[in-house]
A and B are shown apart, each in its own frame.
With several copies, the nearest count.
Chain A
Amino acid sequence: MSILINKDTKVIVQGITGRDGAFHTSKMKDYGTNIVGGISPGKGGSDVGGIPVFNTVGEAVKATNAEASVIFVPAPFAADAILEASFAGVGLVICITEGIPVQDMIKVTPILKQNGTKLIGANCPGLITPGECLIGILPSMIFTPGNIGFISRSGTLTYEVVNMLTEAGLGQTTCVGIGGDPVSGLYYRDLLEMFENDPATEAVVLIGEIGGDAEEQAAQYIKVHMKKPVVAFIAGQSAPAGKRMGHAGAIISSGSGTAEEKIKAFTAAGVPVAKEPGEIPGLVKQKLGL
C-alpha cells in the first residue's frame, strides 16, 4: 500500500513538449509510471515518445481517465495550468515549476478546495511510491520499497535523508516533497493523516524548515491524532532571524516560524527531532524497535 499514488495511477504531463517536461517524462516512464498522455496546446494529435499529446487537459482526461497531472510549464503560466487540471477534474496535481508568484498561489488555493483537487507543490520535486510510481523529478535510484512514510519541504535534503534511510535498510511506502514556497498545496498535516491511515506505513519521517507554522500544526496533529511514530528534522536552525518582513511579519508569526519553536512543538508532541540528518535512521529504528 501507499498514499496518493500507486502502480495503477494514470498520469498526464502538462508541458510535455518542453525541455524539462520531455526529459522527466521519459525518466518517469522508464521507472514504470503509468503516463497516459501529455498536454501541449496546438500540438494535440502528435505524440512524445509514444505518449499521446492533447490540446487541453479536458481532452486528455476524457480520452485517458487520468487521475493525476504533473506540471512542467513556466512560472508565469503555472497557476493557470493548475486551474486547468483542477477544472478538468484531475484529483491530484503535482506542480514542479518554481518561481510562481505568491498571489497566483493564493488565488488558486480556495478554488482547488472547492473543486476537491489535491495539490502537491509548487516548487517541489514531486512524490514517489518506490517500485510503483514516480511523479516529478526525484532521483529514482535512491528510493526503495518499505514501510516508512516520508514528507519534506526541500529537494536535495530529501534525497540526502532518503538515501540514508535506504542505506540503513529502511524502505519507503511513499515519499512526498511538498515544496518550499510560502503558499503551497498539501501541508504536513494532510499527509500525516494519509500516512496514519495507510496500513503499510509504520513510521513517518518529517523534514521541516524554518518559516511558517506548518510544522507546529503537524506537531499538534501528531499529538492529538497519530498512533504511528514520527521522527523529525528541522533545517535552518542556524539561519539568521534578520530576514523578517516588517512589523507585519513579526505580528503575524508572533514568535512561531523559528527552528527553536518547531523543535519545541515536536518535542512536546513526543516526536524526536534529529540534531543532524545523519541521526534520522537511528531514531527511526529506535522507534520501530529495530
Chain B
Amino acid sequence: MKIHEYQARNLFKKYGIPVPDGVVCHSIEDVREKIPNDDKLRVIKAQVHVGGRGKAGGVKLARTREEAIEKAGQILGMDIKGLTVEKVLVAEAVDIEKEFYVGLINDRNSKSVTLMASAEGGVDIEEVAKTSPEKIIKLSIDPTLGLMDWQARKIALQLMNDPAQIRQAASILSKLYKLYIETDASLAEINPLVLTPDKRVLAIDGKMNFDDNALFRQSEVLAMREVTPDEQKEIDASEKGLSYIKLNGNIGCMVNGAGLAMATMDMIKLYGGEPANFLDIGGSSNPQKVIDAMNILLSDTSVKAVMINIFGGITRCDDVARGLVAALKSIHTDMPIVVRLSGTNSREGLEIIKEFGLPTVSTMSEAAKKAIQLSKRKV
C-alpha cells in the first residue's frame, strides 16, 4: 500500500524526523486560507501515487502568497500519468547545502531490512546506483537487534563531518528505522535528506510503502489508504478472494494460481497476443468466484476474448467444470471464451464444458492460440 508524500511527512513528524513547515491543500481556497501573506519561498508539490511528478510539471516554486495560489491552481486538477491531482503540499523551501539519499527496504535477497544511504542524494540516485554503486552505502539490519545506534552513527559519519550534524543524521536514521518497523513498512525513503547552510538536517521529500499482509495490525496506516480506480478494482477483487491486476492487452485471463496465471500471460504473449490482466481465482470450484471473476473481466472494455485456464488438483476438473458451467449460465455475454482444463479428471471436465457449447482445449499453448484467434474476430 502506498501513501502520499504529505502522509509520509506526518509520520516523520510523529517519529521526530525534522521536516520543513508545510500544509496540504485540496483547493485554491484552501491555499488562500492556509498560507500567510509573506514572501517566503515555497514549493508546491502535487500529491499523486506516481513517480516523475517533477518532470510532469507537478512541482513548482512560489515566491509570494499570490504566486503560491497561482501555482497551486496550475497543479490542482493536472493529469499526471493518468491520475488527477487532487491535493498539493505547500511547503517552505529551504536552502540546501548538500543533498543525501536515505532508504529502507525489505530486501528479499538478504532476507532482512536493508538500509541504503548515499552522499549523492537527489533525483539522480538511481543513476548513481548504476554508474557508481560504491557510492551507495548498504547495511543489512539484524532483525533481532534492530539498527543499533553505533551503526546509524557509522553511516552518518560517511555522509557528514561535523559531530552535531552526525548526531542529527544518526538520530534520523534510527527514527526512520523505528517508524519502518512499527508500521510494517516495505519501503521508506528520504530523498533528499538535506543539510542546510544553518546546519540543520531535514527530510525534504519522503516516500513510504506498506506491507499489505500486515495491514490487519496497522489500523493507523490503513486509515491513510487512498486508492486509484484501478487499485480499487484490485481491492474489490481481493475482497472476493481474487487476485487481480489490470494490464494493457485485450485477452482476459482467468487462472487458478499465481504462477500458472503468470505462465498463462507469458503464453499469450509468446503467441503474439496481449494479456488484459492478471487474475488468480485461487483453488476452489465455487461458482460464485467464477461469476465475480467474469464480471471483472467483462467490465474491462478492452477485453476481446477470455481464456480460462484451470489446473485441477485436489479440486477435480469435473467439479471445476460444473462450477464453470453454473457460473457461465448465469452470465449473459457474447464474449468469446476458451476453456482449458488440465489435471485430475480433466477428460471428464472437458466433456462437461464441450456439452455446454464452449470451445475447449487441453494444453495451454492451444488455449492461448485459440484465445488470440477469437480476440481478432471480435471487433
Contacts and interface: CB of A to CB of B under 8 A. Distances in A.
Contact of A42 (B109, B163, B266, B270): B163
Nearest to A137: B314
B129 A250 contact: yes
Contacts of B209: 245-246
B314 A139 contact: yes
A238 B259 contact: no
Interface residues of A, number: 77
Contact of A111 (B145, B217, B314): B145
Given A42-B163, A56-B157, A111-B144, 19 more contacts: A55-B157, A58-B154, A80-B149, A83-B150, A101-B213, A103-B143, A106-B111, A110-B144, A154-B259, A154-B262, A207-B259, A212-B109, A235-B259, A239-B265, A247-B125, A247-B129, A247-B189, A251-B136, A278-B365
Contacts of A251: 103, 116, 125-126, 129, 136
B153 interface: yes
Interface stretch (B19-27, B63-71, B179-187): B179-187
Interface string B262-281: 11011111100001001000
B161 A247 contact: no
Interface in A86-142: 87, 99-107, 109-111, 137-139, 141-142
Interface of A: 27, 40-44, 55-58, 75-77, 80-81, 83-84, 87, 99-107, 109-111, 137-139, 141-142, 152-160, 163, 180, 182-183, 207, 209-214, 233, 235-240, 243, 245-252, 254-255, 275-278
B331 interface: no
Contacts of B263: 157, 160, 233, 235, 276-277
Contact of B184 (A103, A159, A249, A277): A103
B247 interface: yes
B157 A235 contact: no
Mostly, the B contact residues are mixed
B150 A81 contact: yes
A106 B103 contact: no
B157 A102 contact: no
Interface in B346-362: none
Given A111-B144, A139-B344, A142-B344, A156 B111 contact: no
Given A56-B153, A154-B259, A159-B343, A249 B105 contact: yes
Contact of B108 (A41, A87, A211, A236): A211
B267 A246 contact: no
Contacts of A76: 216-217
Nearest to B102: A248
Contacts of A249: 105, 187
